A and B are shown apart, each in its own frame.
Chain A
Amino acid sequence: MNVYRTDEKPIWCPGCGLYGEIGSFVKALEELAIPNYLVSFVTGIGCSARAAGYANVYAVNGTHGESLPIAEGVKLANPELTVIDQGGDGDIWAIGAGHVPHAVRKNLDITLITCDNQVYALTKGQRSPTTAFFEDEEAAGGEPDQPLDPLHDMLAFMSTIKSGFVAQGISTKISHLAELIKKAIIYKGFSYVHVQTPCVTYNDPEWIKFKKEKAVYLEDGKEIILPNGEKIIYDSSDRRMALKITEVPLKERPYYGVIYQEKRRLIN
């Protein structure tokens, strides 16, 4: 048995993307070899938040939307701890969104992970703030509100304090995601990992396939071509370059990797 896993059997649906997400999280802790009593894992409410019961660290499954300040409180009270906050797209970007700019502003050394399945899964499939908007939906009488883009908004919040770490991964690529989570934990300051987490019950299989197959992987020094044809040699410490990435809507092209990191705070 893995020291970072409890013996609890997850309640998630078979094939849920959250298995890969917790797998990546545990792998990151293992590779960093942080003693489990020095790790605090705080979650809200939702399918993704149930992960708190499966991680054998000091863990909280709190209330919907309120996990970020709890994580801050733990860190403020005991700075020795590695503190990771995790929530769903509803948890962090709807009901809890008011906490996000203030968490960025405090810039405590904590890591925030959003498990984004573009749906309120636990309550059985309602729209979330990240649910993609397709023009044909409006034609079919769907709600015409535009989704928000957590990566873009997070980068904007971080721009005001000229600091931060932003990455995006997908939970079906465990080793890649584990690397991102590791980097986020190592980063000294507030760090954000956005995880595309397929929900096999409420997501359209085509959409899941798109997020897996159309992805572009970012690496510093590697050339990428943006949808508008612009070629760039990627540099994650360049905020303006990062903005170019986050301006591309998810439904157009998903980018995975470290999108932005402030150099000054990189240890190692």
Chain B
Amino acid sequence: MRKEITIGAVGAGGDGVIVLGNILQELAGNQGYFGITSRAYGAQIRGGGSSIKTKIDSEHLSLAEDFLDVLICFNWQKYFEFERELRIGEKTIIFCEADPPSSVQSGKFFRVSFGNGQNKNIVALGFLKNMIGLSDPDPRNPSQRILKNNLPSFMAGEKLFQEGNFSKLELERPRNPVPKITIQGNEAVSRAIIDSGCRFGTGYPITPSTEIMEFLRKKLPQLGGQFIQGASENEAIYILYGASLAGKKVVVPTSLPGLSRMMEAIGLFSATEVPLVIIDVQRCGPSTGIPTKTEQADLQTVIYGSGDASRVVLAPFDFESCYQITAQAFNIAEQFQLPVIVLSDQWLGQTVASCNDFTLIKPEIISRLKPGENEKNNYLRYRLSENNISPMASFGDEGFVYQTTGLTHDERGRPASSQYLQQKMHEKIWKKLEPLKQRDDLVKVFGNPEAEIGIITWGSSGMFVRDTVRKMGMEEYIKVCVPELIFPLPEKSIARFLKGVKKSLVVEMNYTGQFYHFLRSRLNLPRKTKLYCRAGGSPFTNEELSQAIEEAIR
């Protein structure tokens, strides 16, 4: 019996590998197992190969191992497109329809025919189900309907395993058999958008954020809201500007090419103090890069773009954090009246996880401050106040008519060009953010607080680093800090983390070490601080991260 297993599958376009991964994980998730499935696609738009890597764990949510325990290979030619993701080790058991090419040196091979019909993925599913000892699927569960309709294939797979006399790789019963929800980061973000009370969204299709857009397109009208597909990211973001002025909570999902086109608008939202949430699902750049693969290279763009425009940058690091941080984004945008950018990434967005249902606890909802009756007919949209937050009337409210402009303006919102106001309005849009820096709850710290080795990382890298530290058995000696609030940086909180830390390491997935340089510009890192960063294109492996950690400790 084992606690966990890492299963890979690879095939050509029509082999149904993605469906295989999805159903396998849902089947396990319904029975209470934790799981994570990452997908990878070949370069061709159609007809390319596809692969999945599924981790099933009976105790907690953990990432897949570098080396597979089991590989289902429908097609060796396609395998080599995904060699890096689906590594074969000495102990890997491979079920394949054809003998492997001689270049494949390790692993134990078994020739199995999953049939040549279009249901070979379901046959393989029945096969795997028996091998790892899952219970029978529950036909009442809607997610398992596809199995109900393909029962003969599924059972043929079960039989194939039994009759082949293969040895089992049986999983322990899940420690807590409560059914898990199966969700992608993009869906967690989408659900948070809805649960935060946002009912107005726009978008322009761009991988890997499109799932969020499609969710909004379907869901918002059902809830009495609106979704508009723009003719460009410019149109998409400026429609939101109008809608937010008219009182709506607004959102747009995008990725770097689209985000870049929104930069001028971000300045306008900031200067005129209009709430906005942008979800940036990062992908490999620069320019078009690798649209389907992950990277964390948008940080500098969102922190520094658009001059001295005040803005907030948040970065969720796991699936639950996708949900909670998105909800925070709306609250912060509304409370502080500014653009908030949520940096997710392709891995987080499109990886499927089975985890405890974190959407059950609904977020607290904060809405923008509106002017009171006493301000009627003497309303100043940008009234200078102690906390620098001025009540915001919605277009159409009686008695609060105002004019606004991206030009430097006075308290009424009329254009002004004095140095005094230029300074004053900068103070207003920046000082209002001060309280945010005290939000210790937006800096997550893991491991032994007394540890003398500290790793600081952000976004989905946080999940990978924690996973590696755990697998190295070093939680006692290494602590990990993952700020979800990146800008403005909660400096005090991070300084507290660094107290007593003798050696530190910063980990991120971009070529130039953007976060590292940003951290160094804000606080003093220990003298012995190392950086591990590289361009994206494939997720971090345990091997590379443990090497980086060992080097930093040395």
Which A residues form the contact surface with B (CB < 8 A)? 6, 8, 35-38, 40, 42, 45, 50, 52-53, 55-63, 66, 68-78, 80-81, 98-99, 102
Contact = CB atoms under 8 A, between A and B. Distances in A.
A59 B409 CA distance: 13
30 contacts: A6-B414, A37-B399, A40-B246, A45-B406, A55-B403, A56-B401, A58-B245, A60-B242, A60-B403, A61-B405, A61-B415, A62-B268, A63-B268, A63-B406, A70-B238, A70-B239, A70-B242, A71-B242, A73-B241, A73-B246, A76-B228, A76-B239, A77-B226, A77-B242, A78-B247, A78-B394, A78-B395, A99-B231, A99-B234, A99-B235
A73 B405 contact: no
Contacts, number: 131
Contacts of B239: 69-70, 72-73, 76
A76 B246 CA distance: 9
Given A53-B414, A53-B415, A69-B234, A74 B405 contact: no
Contacts of A6: 403, 414
B221 to A, nearest CB: 12
Given A58-B403, A59-B403, A73-B239, 20 more contacts: A37-B398, A42-B242, A56-B403, A60-B405, A61-B403, A61-B404, A62-B238, A62-B268, A69-B230, A69-B239, A69-B242, A70-B242, A73-B242, A76-B228, A77-B200, A77-B244, A77-B246, A77-B248, A81-B395, A99-B235
Contacts of A76: 200, 226, 228, 239, 242-243
Given A76-B226, A80-B396, A53 B403 contact: yes
Mostly helix, strand, loop or mixed at chain B's interface? mixed
Interface of B: 200, 226, 228, 230-232, 234-248, 264-265, 267-268, 272, 394-407, 414-415
B241 to A, nearest CB: 5
Contacts of A38: 396
Contacts of B226: 76-77
Contacts of B396: 37-38, 40, 58, 78, 80-81
B246 A57 contact: no
A23 to B, nearest CB: 18
A264 to B, nearest CB: 24
A61 B241 contact: no
Contacts of A72: 239, 242
In the complex, the 3 A-B pairs of residues with the closest C-beta atoms, listed nearest first: A73-B242, A77-B246, A69-B238
Which of A8, A62, A69, A98 has the most chain B CB atoms inside 10 A of its CB?
A69
A62 B406 contact: yes
A62 B394 CA distance: 17
Contacts of A78: 246-247, 394-396
Contacts of A62: 238, 241, 268, 405-406
B238 A73 contact: yes
A53 B414 CA distance: 6
B395 A74 contact: yes
Contacts of A8: 414
Contacts of A69: 230, 234-239, 241-242
A25 to B, nearest CB: 14
